[in-house]
Amino acid sequence: MNILMVTSEIVPFAKTGGLADVLGSLPQALKKLGCDVRVILPFYKMAKPVVKKALIEHGEISIPIGNERIVGSTLESRLLKDIPVYLVKQDAYYDRDELYTTAEGDYPDNAQRFIFLSQYALEACKQLAFKPDIIHLHDWQTGLIPVYLKTVYADDPFFRKTGTLYTIHNIAYQGLFEYELFEMTWLPHSTFTIDGFEYWGKMNFMKAGINFSDYINTVSQKYSQEIQTSEYGYGIDGVLRTRAHRLSGIMNGVDYSLWNPESDEFIAENYQSDDMSGKTQCKRDLLKKFKLPLRSMRLPLIGIVSRLADQKGFDLIERILPEVMTMDVLFVVLGTGDSKYHALLKDFARKYPAKIGVRLGFDNALAHKIEAGADMFLMASRYEPCGLNQIYSLKYGTVPIVRATGGLDDSIENFDPATGNGNGFKLQNYNAEELLATIKRAVECFRQPDVWQKIVQNGMAVDFSWDASAKRYLNLYHQIQKLH
C-alpha cells in the first residue's frame, strides 16, 4: 500500500513536540508491515544542518497563492536510509528561526505557508509519480488537503483511488485565519460554509480536515472521547460528534531505539531492569548538570520536560511549589514556551537554588538525561492527547505522576499498595490540592524501597512499541480504501 504522510514536523528534521516523534517512528513501523511510506514537509532552517546535501533534487513546482505564483522545489532525503522524506524548499516561507511562532506571536503568513504546503504535497505526488492509496494528514497545517482533493482534484484520475486519514494530535491548535485570506486558497466558495470549514466567520483548517477527510483519528482512546465534549473540544466538539462514526483513537507508540536506558547514548551510564546501578549514576550526573547539591542524592527527584504552555498544568504547579519546597523533594525542569512560565520558573530557581534546577530552552540530550536521572516524572496536564514523556519515563524506571486525562489516563495505571499493581500515580481532577496529595503519596512510596522497586519494575515491563498501533493504522487504511 502506498502511503503519503504530510506533516509539519518529523524527527530528526524539525521538532517542537510529540508530533515530530510520532512521524519519526510510525513510518518505520508501517514499512515493516509492507507499506511504501513516504513523508513530505517544509524544508525549515532547523532541517538544514540535518540535510546538508539532498540525495535527489526533483525540480520546481509552482503553486497559485492568491494572485501570485509561488515556486518551490522538492529535495529528497531519507529517514533511516529507506523512508523517502521530501523537503519542500521555499525559503521565503520556511527558512526562518522558528516553525510557527516567535516571542512576538505567530508568523503573520502562516495561512499562506500551509496553503502552499497543502497544494504542493498533491502536486509533488505527480512530480514523483507516486500514487498514494492513502494520504495521512497531521494536525491543522495539513487540514486543507482533503478539501483540495474533494474539489479542485475531484475529477483528477491520478487521485481517483486516494483516500484520506486525518490525525488530530492536539485539538487546541486549529489554524484559524481571517476570511480575507480565503482567496489565497483558490478553493470554491461552496467549501466556506458551516458544514465545510467556516468557523464563526473565519477559516478553520482543522475543521476542514475533520469534515473533508474519509476518516479521522486521535492519538489515544480517551482523547477521542474527550474531544467530543464541550470541556475538551475547543469549540469543535459538535463537528466531531457529527462525524463520530468515522472517528477513532489509536494510542501512539514510541521509538525504543531512541528512548531506552539500555542503549541511550545521551545518559551517563546505561542500565536495565535487572541492574539499576546505572540509574544512580544518571541521577548524580543530573544533579551536577543542574548544580543541585550531591548530598541530596537520597531525596526523590521529580523531573519535568515540557512545552511551557497552559495545557501542561503550570498554573497548578505554581500553586503547590512553595509547599513542595518545604518537603524533602528536588525538582528539575526543562522547557520552553510561554514567557509568563519562563519568569515563574526563573523566580523559583532563584528562591530555592538547592531544591530546584531550571533550564529554559530546547535540549534533546538533557531531556534524555532527565528521563534517566529523575525518580519521578510530573505531567499535571489540563489535557493531554497522548503524551510521550510518561511512556518514556516508564521505560527509564522513572515513575510518572500524571493527571488522568487523554493518553496519560490510558497509559498510566494508578499504583495500588494492596495488590502491588500499577505503574504510576494519578490525580483525577485538575486541582492543586489533589496534585499536592498525589505527589505526597508518591514520596511516601519512595521512602519504602521495596514498594518503590515494585512500581519501577511494573513500569519498565510495559511495552508501548509501535507494533500494535501500526497494525491498527493499517486496518484503518484498509477500511478507507474500501470507500474508493
Residues at the site binding ligand ADP, with contacts judged by CB under 6 A = 17-19, 21, 305-307, 334-336, 362-364, 367, 386-389
Q: Which is nearer to ligand ADP, 116 or 259 (CB)?
A: 259
Q: Which is nearer to ligand ADP, 133 or 264 (CB)?
A: 264
Go through 1-10 and write b for each residue having 16 or more CB atoms within 10 A of its CB, e for each that does not.
ebbbbbbbbb
**Cβ 371 to ligand ADP, closest distance in Å?**
8
| C-alpha dist (Å) from residue 24 to 9, 13, 15, 133, 394 | 9, 9, 10, 21, 20
| Closest residue to ligand ADP: CB criterion | 18
Go through 439-469 and write b for each residue having 16 or more CB atoms within 10 A of its CB, e for each that does not.
bebbbebbeeeeebebbbebbbeeebebeeb
Q: Which is nearer to ligand ADP, 18 or 253 (CB)?
A: 18
Go through 262-276 and write b for each residue having 16 or more CB atoms within 10 A of its CB, e for each that does not.
eebeebbebbeeeeb
Q: If you search the block for the grid coordinates 475543521, which residue do you land on?
A: 207
**Which residues are paired to 272 by β-bridges?**
275
Question: Residue 307: CB partners within 8 Å, gap ≥ 6?
Answer: 16, 17, 335, 336, 337
**Cβ 364 to ligand ADP, closest distance in Å?**
5
Q: Which is nearer to ligand ADP, 389 or 458 (CB)?
A: 389
- Cα distance between residue 438 and residue 414, in whole Å: 10
Q: Which is nearer to ligand ADP, 185 or 306 (CB)?
A: 306
**Cβ 278 to ligand ADP, closest distance in Å?**
20
CB-based burial label for 277 (10 Å; 0-12, 13-18, 19+): exposed
- Of 455, 435, 436, 437, whose CA–CA distance to 445 is shortest? 455
Q: Which is nearer to ligand ADP, 307 or 319 (CB)?
A: 307
**Cβ 334 to ligand ADP, closest distance in Å?**
5
**Cβ 451 to ligand ADP, closest distance in Å?**
27
Q: Which is nearer to ligand ADP, 388 or 456 (CB)?
A: 388
**Cβ 309 to ligand ADP, closest distance in Å?**
8
**Cβ 367 to ligand ADP, closest distance in Å?**
4
Specify the amino acid at residue 140: W
